[in-house]
Amino acid sequence: MRLAYAPYNLKFKAPAGTSRGILNEKQTYLIKIWDESDPSRYGIGEASLFRGLSAEDNDRYEFKLVETLANVALGIPTDLSRHSSIQFGLEQAIFDFSNGCKGIYFPSDFTAARQSITINGLVWMGSFDEMIERIEQKISQGFKCVKLKIGAIDFIKELEMVKHIRRHFDADTLEIRVDANGGFSMDNAIARLARLAELDVHSIEQPIRQGHWDLMAFLCQVSPLDIALDEELIGITDLRSKIEMLDTIRPKYIILKPSLCGGFSGAMEWIKLADERNIGWWVTSSLESNIGLNALSQWVATLNTSMPQGLGTGGLFTNNFESPIYLDGEQLKFNAEQPFDYSQFDNLDWRE
């Protein structure tokens, strides 16, 4: 077997506000794997590095890709325990190759167009007026669950946004999730959680920064609002540490991002541990291109979960790849009649 990778910069249609600043582009890497006897047929995957968030974000990232490339040619394994996105991309490429190089990673009713995935509508950070407009757009598009990124403007104004929604839609009509990205402090967290709980918010992701297990455990005990862990999972790779973290904090939910928590295999380990402890979970994407999003959506469809998932729709970028996945209201669907076009990868800067 042989492996190659190609760097690719995704360009945002509009600047994307995050807790880590404004993003205009997103670096990613495509991976392909093939049998030397027939180089024209290959499996494709995406190693979606997230600068500023991934534990693997350092100047040796491409060296790890080169090491993986060489080891595949030699037929020996590579330790990717600290390189989640490469694990994620390699697993995709292998699944695609194993299933006939057709862009089918996990055959199911979803890929046969008999099943869809309910997703939440993500409202990006922005000014008060921008976020209100985005909220109203999501609701008009048919979303019954919206997720608000908070922390970019004054908390009182963010609270007013939630009140604005609740004046028109009660909790039975519309589920509201919020993501603080670690933006609260212990001085203000309890009061803010109480204010959000009064407005029937479903849950909050990562109210304080990761790594403070005892403080997060305390918040999970006293908070009137259910807490979901997100960044807390990043960089925890061994089973013992995963168990210790979950048993210490005891969150209501965990958020799974395979490109940040060990690929599909790492995410499945988290799911097993969560299920054993009656901890809920859902899956979110993390700015993958349509390649990673296609594989991620197919995997989610096999998990038999009814909760709205946090999957992207591929519409953020001007230079995204073509994919069979598409959005119909709040339902993510797969066009089984659209052949996966491998020719769109022909002119990339492949490095072997």
Catalytic residue numbers, as ranges: 149, 257
Q: Give residues with Cβ within 8 angstroms of 297, minimum separation 6.
A: 110, 117, 311, 325, 332, 334
| SS3 at position 335 | coil
Token pair, residue 320, equals: 């995204």
**Look-up: residue for tokens 């899956």?**
283
Token pair, residue 5, equals: 């990778």
Nearest Cα to Cα of residue 332 among 203, 201, 145: 145
Note whether 208 and 182 are within 8 A (CB).
yes
Parallel, antiparallel, or unpaired: how do β-strands 280-283 and 253-256 relate?
Answer: parallel
Nearest Cα to Cα of residue 5 among 56, 51, 72: 72
For the chain, the distance separating the N- and C-terminal CA atoms, rounded to the nearest angstrom, is 12
How many other CB atoms are found less than 10 A from the CB of residue 5? 25
Token pair, residue 132, equals: 């209100």
| SS3 at position 7 | strand
CA dist 352 and 350 (Å) reads 6
Q: Give residues with Cβ within 8 angstroms of 307, minimum separation 6.
A: 118, 280, 282
CA dist 43 and 262 (Å) reads 20
Q: What is the DSSP letter of 344?
A: G
